[in-house]
Amino acid sequence: IFLITSMYVGSGKSFISLNLSVAVAIQNKKVLFIDADLRRASASRIWNSPLLGLSNYLNGSLNLKSAIYRDKKYPNLHYMPVGTQPPNPTELLTNNRFRELCDVVREEYDYIFIDTPPMENIADASIIAKYVDRSIFVVRVGMFKRNRLYQLEEFNQSNLIKKMLIVLNESTQFNQGGYRYSDYY
């Protein structure tokens, strides 16, 4: 199970997690993509934002099988959209149903990718991080200040983000015709 997060909105975590899910699914691996960004649901829009999904499962109004859909283009790719956007996302994630979800899907899928909200001001990603095996932290060039790198190290050292991998997104933006120094990565 992989958690995909970033520090800020707009870093490209949904784009990267969706493409990673497809890339693994076309290699004949059974993949589940979970849109756990219960506030924005941007990844769910790829599948026209189905009305039922993760939030409905977490609040107990939907069984797990009914919350998971199969992609029409990639048969090995299943997805769980946000569903009904809840008024209390953090509260939903702290109930035992999210842990149960991870336990069940871990047995059924080869890879699970969970797209989460950014870490900046929201606790959701750190709640979900308890149930994953690895984490992918997306850093977008031009958005992440170098003087904030200590936070990534703190996340890693405290094991808040398990076995963290870092993806540098849009790195070609500043590498046109040589090196450029900046306060941003």
Rounded Cα gap, residues 92 and 77, in angstroms? 25
Write down the H helix ranges in 43-182: 54-58, 64-67, 89-93, 96-108, 124-128, 149-157
How confident is the model over 21-42, as pLDDT tens digits? 999 999 999 999 999 999 998 8
Rounded Cα gap, residues 175 and 158, in angstroms? 33
Rounded Cα gap, residues 46 and 41, in angstroms? 10
Backbone torsions φ then ψ of 153, nearest 5 degrees: -65, -40
Rounded Cα gap, residues 106 and 112, in angstroms? 7
Q: How far is CA 175 from CA 42, 142, 170, in A?
A: 29, 12, 10
How confident is the model over 78-116, as pLDDT tens digits? 999 999 999 989 999 998 999 999 999 999 999 999 999
The three-state secondary structure class of 40 is: coil
Sorting pLDDT into bands at 50, 70 and 90, what band is 153? confident
Rounded Cα gap, residues 66 and 53, in angstroms? 8
pLDDT at 55 over 80: yes
Tell me which H or E stretch contains 115. strand 111-115
Backbone torsions φ then ψ of 141, nearest 5 degrees: -60, 135
